[in-house]
Structure 1
């Protein structure tokens, strides 16, 4: 499987892209974490919010990356209806995650979109990640042993650089 990610941008390449785009990130190193709950002890004291990132597919194998504040409780069936996903949403296989985003399970991040040059993955974001609700947003930098804080404006700049147009949704409307 590692062959799938050989030509993908990793953490060091991502940091280079941040510098080239003039994006300042605040990186917090921590042990490997595989869930939001495992990450929170290392970043919950920081200003802002840790993001939940889910790599999903629908029945027609269309791929989605869903990003929202970590404390959002969302049912995949509700999200599928909200975004018009065919036949519901389920988690995509790790080999597809590695192939499309160049990352492994436990490291799912919006930054993986830099590797989706064919734009096969549709980005779905809770609008609070871009509207200034939070001053800093924390995502893994392609690995699950660190978290990077980025401003909403710089997140928007990064996503625009990848060529992806996010579908902004109001997740709070589903509660």
Structure 2
């Protein structure tokens, strides 16, 4: 991998950790080899026996490239973008944003997308969308996200995650993205 690509994956980890500490948010970070997909990450996390929900994250935009959303759901969940767009009231649907938009808006590139990257969205251009199951009272001890790098996973309680999002000016938009399955 080129050095320029690696640099994109380090979108302010040190600053993020200082911010979390300043906000009184306790986290635990687990180092693992650099990964670019959830599938590649899972064997490492399974060996660690992490307790809680592990995320996958999508960075999307509207058709006209005016609005951006960072979507967080369970690592093994299929996300129907048309359904999510409908639930969010986005006419015309959503599409994946390109890497340049990711770097510009949230300071990280492909393989490093994390809801914690809203920390880099100082203008409030990005809306944070979270699977409802992540924040159900008592459901998960921790939520697991990349801490701006794809060589580590950070554990944070659901309530501290909400506190973090609010402290960055990003009230989570909580929707049920789990689609029912029919026989």
Q: Fold-level match, TM-score > 0.5? A: yes
C-alpha distance in 2, partners of 1:91/1:74?
A: 12
Instruction: After TM superposition, give the deviation of residue 73 of structure 1 in Å.
Output: 1.2
**Match of 1:172, SS?**
coil
Q: Which residue of 1 aligns with 2:54?
A: 50
For 1:1-175, list aligned pairs within 5 A: 10-44=12-46, 45-61=49-65, 62-132=67-137, 133-173=139-179, 175=181
Aligned length: 171
C-alpha distance in 1, partners of 2:166/2:44?
A: 29
Give unpaired runs (5+ residues) of structure 1.
none
| CA displacement, residues 44-103 of structure 1 (integer Å, 9 cap, x when unaligned) | 321112111100011122111101111211221121112122311111010110011011
C-alpha distance in 2, partners of 1:19/1:121?
A: 23
Runs of 4+ in 1 over 4 A off after TM superposition: none
Give unpaired runs (5+ residues) of structure 2.
none
**Match of 2:178, SS?**
helix
C-alpha distance in 1, partners of 2:140/2:87?
A: 23
TM-score (norm 1): 0.91
C-alpha distance in 2, partners of 1:75/1:9?
A: 28
